[in-house]
Amino acid sequence: MGVDRSLLLSVLGWWTWVWVATVLALVLALVVLVLGVLRRNRPVILPGLPFYLDEPRVIEICQQGGYGDIAKRTIREFVNRSTDGTFGFTSQWFKFGRGANRGHETETSYDVHVTANTLLGLVLKSLEAQHGVVHANLTAGVVQADRAWRRTRSPLLSEIHDGYVVVQGRFTVVEESGDEVVLHARIGERDAWVRVACHDDHLRRKEVPEGQFNARCLGKSQAWRPESGELVILPVAVLQ
């Protein structure tokens, strides 16, 4: 009794398509996995040179996101280099660890900014790994957030409560006292403002630009003041 070749080919053809579909699905899953790993490991950059950095809050955020040990090691390495006399630095930042030689302070140092930007990259990765962070271009009036944040939050800046934001805009100094400098940036074309109070403990006051300047502020939204049209942000870092 002979075998029907057309029937055999149809059966083999059907199984061939099943195997092809299975292989394609596995390849797709592998690509998604690899892209996810690459995305998590990619460097996160907040452009600019910081003139404000709240180091204790930076460490706290990194610890919450699982990057605390890396952040502390980064600071230790910086302090060790400074203590060994490689270069001097302003003692406002990076007090963690053994401390540093305060006898050879300089006005600014490229290495200070590199260390600060490295830590801020860890902060952004920590926030993205947790509840997300909102990015807002104040001049263009554009608000963006990652998917995890958008699922439960409103994309309006005035409705952000207790969330972290990165706001980009044109800032000016509106108040200045003995222990802090207050910055304002207009939100779009409205009579609404972002208010950022920078305490001297974390501020390089001499590096704050004069007049109006472009800057980014990473911080935590605290409150919306409708009477004054101000969104109050507790700053973690300000970069120019």
Q: What is the average pLDDT across 164-183?
A: 94
pLDDT tens string 47-73: 888 999 998 999 999 999 999 999 988
The region of weakest confidence among 14-23, 45-54, 116-125 is 14-23
Q: How far is CA 76 from the centre of its chain?
A: 21
| Cα–Cα distance measured from residue 74 to residue 79, given in angstroms and rounded to the nearest whole number | 9
Query: 176: pLDDT confidence band, cut at 50, 70 and 90?
Result: very high
Average pLDDT for the chain: 77
Q: How far is CA 216 from the centre of its chain?
A: 10
Q: CB of 198 within 8 A of CB of 183? A: yes
pLDDT at 215: 96
Give the 3-state DSSP-derived string for the chain, with helices as H, strands as E and coil as C.
CCCCHHHHHHHHHHHHHHHHHHHHHHHHHHHHHHHHHHHHHCCCCCCCCEEEECHHHHHHHHHHCCCHHHHHHHHHHHHHHHHCCCCCCCCCCCCCCCCCCHHHCCCCCHHHHHHHHHHHHHHHHHHHHCCCCEEEECCCCEEEECHHHHCCCCCCHHHCCCCEEEEEEEEEEEEECCCEEEEEEECCCCCCEEEEEEEHHHECHHHCCCCCEEEEEEEEEEEEECCCCEEEEEEEEEEC
pLDDT tens string 23-38: 676 666 565 554 444 3
